[in-house]
Amino acid sequence: MRNQDTEPALEIATWAKKTLSPEGTGLHVEHAALPVPVHGTSSATGRELVTNGAIGADLIRLPAGAGFVPHTHPGHHILTIVAGIGTMTYGGRIYETHAGQTLLIEGGIPHAVGAITDHVILAVGSPHKRIGADDRMTPVAYEEVVADDGELTCLICGSTAGPPRFLHSVGCPHCPCRTCAGMPTEHG
């Protein structure tokens, strides 16, 4: 017989409303701002869902046009896009991401996230860091997300540029630099 006083309770976090029909299940994900500002961006917000410290899940919302600067994490992340359309800069390429996709981001690999529309992501990280924690991510230089050949290519609009030029200088609206992510420059 199970002892309810000594066994841990199951943690359940509800982050979407569901609808059921014979054709399938629909999820309704709110695009509204979440309660906690997220480190590394000027306007992302989040909500911790569940964690035990070793692993945890958060809901992160980026408003349209916002982004995270290039950065790394201390561990691996699985990102599931649950609402909207965005970008993932990884390995010298900018990919379009959209609701219904899951991405594996290896720990220590420089990457950047952007929002084309309001963008909501379910992020599972190990180790888990709190939403507002300064050590959740470490910003890196723009040059860290370019390919080995020194260029960054946007697979959405077809633009290519390499440092010292940023993608926005060739008309790409998906550039992951600090200015395009809405963050102050290192000098400003």
184 within some domain: no
16 within some domain: no
Averaged confidence pLDDT in the chain: 92
Distance separating alpha carbons of residues 116 and 14, to the nearest angstrom: 25
186 within some domain: no
Q: 33 falls in which pLDDT band (50, 70, 90)?
A: very high
The average pLDDT across 16-23 equals 96
48 closest CA partner among 38, 40, 60, 58: 58
Whether the per-residue pLDDT at 185 is higher than 80: the answer is no
- The confidence score (pLDDT) of residue 183 equals 80
Instruction: Show the CA angle centred on residue 86, arms to residues 82 and 92, nearest 5°.
Output: 125
14 within some domain: no
- The confidence score (pLDDT) of residue 158 equals 97
Distance separating alpha carbons of residues 68 and 118, to the nearest angstrom: 14
For residue 48, what are the domain limits? 31-130+142-170
Distance separating alpha carbons of residues 56 and 142, to the nearest angstrom: 28
| 66 touches 183 (CB < 8 A) | no
Domain with 79 in it: what CATH number? 2.60.120.10
- The confidence score (pLDDT) of residue 187 equals 41
To 10 degrees, the CA torsion angle through 82, 167, 70, 162? Answer: 140
- The confidence score (pLDDT) of residue 132 equals 84
- The confidence score (pLDDT) of residue 133 equals 87
Instruction: State the pTM of this model.
Output: 0.90
136 within some domain: no
The average pLDDT across 38-44 equals 84
Q: 42 falls in which pLDDT band (50, 70, 90)?
A: confident
- The confidence score (pLDDT) of residue 182 equals 83
Higher pLDDT, 181 or 167: 167
**Which of the residue ranges 15-29, 71-85, 130-144 would you say has the lowest mean pLDDT?**
130-144
90 within some domain: yes
72 within some domain: yes
118 closest CA partner among 156, 65, 181: 65
Higher pLDDT, 99 or 182: 99
Whether the per-residue pLDDT at 173 is higher than 90: the answer is yes
43 within some domain: yes
Higher pLDDT, 118 or 188: 118
- The confidence score (pLDDT) of residue 4 equals 63
Please tell me the total count of domains within the chain.
1
